A and B are shown apart, each in its own frame.
Chain A
Amino acid sequence: MDLFVIYFTIFVLALFVGVEIINKVPPTLHTPLMSGTNAISGIVVVGAIISAGGGEQATGLSTFLGFLAIVLATVNIVAGFLVTDRMLNMFKRK
């Protein structure tokens, strides 16, 4: 099977998983949900690491762009998870 078809299948199935679980998140937690998923979207750091890591396919410019991408994605990840943690620790039951 064409690789693209496999990727696309995974994409669509993951969408359904996302809709199913996220619909169960109560409105009280919508802000932490957003900042948490936001941190998760920093996963693109994976691509950035591979680009910044050199290898025979790299050029000076591609390594530099990869480096910049690592910085941006890491800010996104670290700040996102930490601020979510800070918020969630405030939610207390009576």
Chain B
Amino acid sequence: MQAFVNFFYLAAAVLFILGIKGMTKPKTAVRGNQLSALGMGLAVLAALLDFHVVSYGTIIIGILAGGAAGVYMARKVQMTSVPEMVALLNGLGGGASLLVAAANYLESQQLSGMGQFDPTVEWSVAVILSILVGAVTLTGSLVAVGKLMGKVDDPKDIRNYKLGVKASFALLFVGTLTLVMGDTLNSGVLLTLMILLCLVLGVCLVMPIGGADMPVVVSLLNSYSGIAGAAAGFVLGNNGLIITGSLVGASGLILTSIMCKAMNRSLVNVLFGGSMAAAAGISKSENDAFYEGKVKFASADEVAMMLETAKRVVFVPGYGLAVAQAQHATRELASLLESAGAKVKYAIHPVAGRMPGHMNVLLAEAEVPYDQLVEMDTINPEFPQTDVAIVLGANDVVNPVAAKDKNSPIYGMPILEVYNARTVIVVKRGLSPGFAGIPNELFIRENTLMVPGDAKKVLQDVIKALREG
């Protein structure tokens, strides 16, 4: 029977791999996700058949409660809030790994009392790792959720948090050695203290990271939740868990590295460098002086006039588009222009939005076909032939200073070269700096026109003007 159960786990792991493989094309992705879900169903079935399981009441209540909450969350969430939801779910996954490792520790105490279990060094290390990574993922994710929702601000002084990280690591190292070398199974108090310490560590690790770097943090926490699962697999001796955890860990790591590359920063710099804005931030008066008298403004009517004759139009969405919920208005304007014979594309910067691929989901929600969403490297050579580029709530990712000024905090970050377009229209609430805390040279260029206001409102006005004109 147990061999049979293990084959189920293998089948589940194979389905997960096939499922992720389906994600390599939009056409097969829905099916891929269903295969993964089927794999999860098999794994749960296998666990229920395990000979350790003798009563089902608690299990069924737990699954029903969690399932109901899950259905509710998935139905309710707005596409703009997907980053918060993914971060929260990551945290829950980490929390589950932590609880499983702790429960297994308690069971091992019992088994050892019955003379059926003798902890090895590897087992002890795996338990500690599972608890550590799980706890860090739990509290780290919760802080990330707070930052994504704008409820937790970046701290001005990050030294205390850095000190907290160092102290936690030192204490955890000592604790781990004591636990592994000493009487592992009779150190419940020490283990509890270490769990508390790890919960604090999670907060200290994520607090100092700037709001702008959340795409990296969310990816990294995703990776952690996988590693926590794999560690739980080592504890339980379950290959299914090990394979799956490792797949998720790899996925998170790859996304993390893509995000870091897209910002031209190292992971260490993102994690321990503090918020860019805090480091480089300029005062309001300096910011005002930079733009003083150099910015040209335009009204929605003037934009509409310009668009009437445009043959090639590129939209450049940023986080501002998500905040203004302007994806539907964008799509409406695009359809209008297309019906007038213009070619419309969307330029997507890898770190636009609050998580990898966030803009693509928002635009897909507004029924923008995905073949119009163009990656940075493909769209950049096309800007010189573009009549009008419309920047919607993006800032640092279109700042030409990144290519020229070696002293700039964003120097070397690959940008969307919108300034090469014949006319650039920037829709923005005001002239406040972006996440990097620096003024944007694009806004004072000869070929740039600013339209102040909320992206959705401005777009609706342009649409109205076009229809009436």
Contacts and interface: CB of A to CB of B under 8 A. Distances in A.
B100 A32 contact: no
A79 B70 contact: yes
Contact of A76 (B75, B92, B355, B370): B92
B241 A47 contact: yes
B96 A72 contact: yes
Interface in A7-37: 7, 10-12, 14-15, 17-19, 21-37
Contacts of B92: 72-73, 75-76
A84 B65 CA distance: 20
A66 B96 CA distance: 9
Nearest to B12: A43
B279 interface: no
Contacts of A27: 258, 348, 350, 356-357, 360, 375
Interface residues of B, number: 124
A51 B356 contact: no
Contact of B40 (A17, A43, A82, A88): A43
B174 interface: no
Nearest to A18: B250
B96 A37 contact: no
Contact of A57 (B20, B110, B228): B110
Interface string A75-90: 1111111111111111
10 A-B pairs closest in CB distance? A74-B66, A78-B70, A18-B250, A53-B53, A30-B357, A70-B62, A82-B74, A30-B356, A94-B369, A69-B99
8 contacts: A11-B243, A37-B247, A40-B247, A41-B228, A48-B103, A50-B52, A62-B106, A72-B93
B251 interface: yes
Contacts of B44: 45-46, 49
B439 interface: no
Given A35-B82, A54-B53, A70-B63, A11 B230 contact: yes
By DSSP majority rule, is chain A's interface helix, strand, loop, or mixed?
helix
Interface of B: 9, 12-13, 16-17, 19-21, 23-27, 29-30, 32-34, 36-37, 39-40, 43-44, 46-48, 50, 52-56, 58-59, 61-63, 65-67, 69-71, 73-75, 77, 79, 82, 85-86, 89-90, 92-93, 95-97, 99-100, 102-104, 106-111, 114, 116, 120, 122, 218-219, 222, 225-226, 228-230, 232-255, 258, 348, 350, 355-358, 360-361, 364-365, 367, 369-373, 375
Residue from A59, A63, A79 whose CB has the most chain B CB atoms within 10 Å: A79
A87 B361 contact: yes
B357 A18 contact: no
Given A31-B361, A93-B369, A17 B247 contact: yes
B59 A53 contact: yes
Contact of B100 (A14, A33, A44, A77): A44
Contact of B63 (A3, A57, A74): A74
B361 A49 contact: no
Contact of B90 (A11, A31, A38, A91): A38
B71 A38 contact: no
Contacts of B63: 70, 74
A39 B56 contact: no
Contact of B246 (A18, A32, A47, A80): A18
Given A15-B246, A38-B93, 9 more contacts: A18-B247, A44-B228, A47-B103, A55-B52, A56-B110, A62-B106, A66-B100, A75-B89, A85-B30
Nearest to A42: B93
